[in-house]
Structure 1
């Protein structure tokens, strides 16, 4: 991981933490209104992310991957093979539009990802989120996901001693934990190779990260 990416992630985490600590002062209707306004602005103004990635291009590229995933999810959930099924997702720029709304709380969902996840859940799949965010953000992260419409079966964040593991090692271990609970992970979705390597998923779907700009 480059120093630039580490610095950017630290900035995003700091911003999310600050917003999260202040979130209890805002009402849910006010938060929803702010989110809707932010989404509309981004979708009509060609907003760029923290590293200059074009929002509309990113949305199209994400949707192309999700369009590939949907027929597979449809077919796989039609045949559960007698086991509980699950979908596992990364969060930042994989489930939430973090780099495009890093000062907004709740951070908006990526619409095409949200639609696929809700579809899978309606067809019986549990939905787990495995993120490299630190444990201090667990409650606000779960709140954010639910507030923007995600079904949440579980959220995994990095507590001690996970903070000292490599991200891919940590995420692989958490998927193994989900499997140990009796789930078959039919799809693992993320925008970084560290979200996807290590096995413990039947299929992986990589969203765009533009050489680490949206990690």
Structure 2
């Protein structure tokens, strides 16, 4: 991971931790955050281009989700999602809370959940952000069947190894992970999912 990406994630953690004081009181309505359509969240990454590329990836996954969830009543199926720039528009909204959902991914998650699949989130965010992260996800409309954040000793483990271990834990609960969605190879490597859905990160420009 580059120093730039580490710095961006650290900045996001500071913003989220600061916003935690707001969670228990006057919660902002879902969708209250302002979207920065058509602007560059990071150098060389245009918001509208990113949204189109995300939509293309999600649209490619939807037929499989439809097929696998058809007639799956009574089965324990799950979809696993990364969070930053995979579920939430983190790099385009550093100072906005709650961070807006990525609408194509939100639509997929809600569709899968409505058809009986559990929705789990596995993130490299530290455990101190557990509560505020779950609140953000729920506030913008995500169903949350479970959230995995990094506690000791996971804070010192390779991200890919940590995320693979968490998917293994989900499977140990009896779930079949029909799709694993993320924008980084560390979100997807290691197996324990029938399908992986790679969202754009533009060679690491998005964290």
TM-score when scaled to structure 1? 0.91
CA distance in 2, matches of 1:179, 1:102: 33
Whether contact under 8 Å (2:33, 2:97) holds in the other structure is no
The Cα of 1:15 is off from its aligned counterpart by: 1.9
Q: 1:32 aligns with which of 29, 43, 47?
A: 29
Q: Which runs of 5+ in 1 are unaligned?
A: none
CA distance in 1, matches of 2:89, 2:117: 23
More helix by percentage? 1
CA distance in 2, matches of 1:21, 1:111: 26
Residues 147-206 of structure 1: CA distance to partner in whole angstroms, max 9, x if unpaired?
A: 000000000000111101010000000000000000000000000000000000000000
Residues 50-101 of structure 1: CA distance to partner in whole angstroms, max 9, x if unpaired?
A: 4441100000000000000100100011153963100000000000011111
Whether contact under 8 Å (1:20, 1:105) holds in the other structure is no
SS at match of 1:38: coil
Instruction: State the number of aligned residues.
Output: 207
CA distance in 1, matches of 2:86, 2:123: 10
Aligned residue for 1:21? 21
> How does 1:41-190 map onto structure 2 within 5 Å?
42-43=36-37, 46-80=38-72, 83-190=75-182
Aligned residue for 2:2? 2
Whether contact under 8 Å (1:83, 1:182) holds in the other structure is no
Change (3 A) 1:79 1:199: farther
SS at match of 2:205: coil
Query: Structure 1 segments of 4 or more deviating over 4 A?
Result: none
SS at match of 2:197: strand
1:12 aligns with 2:6: no
The Cα of 1:20 is off from its aligned counterpart by: 2.3
Moved more, 13-22 or 102-111: 13-22
TM-score when scaled to structure 2? 0.95
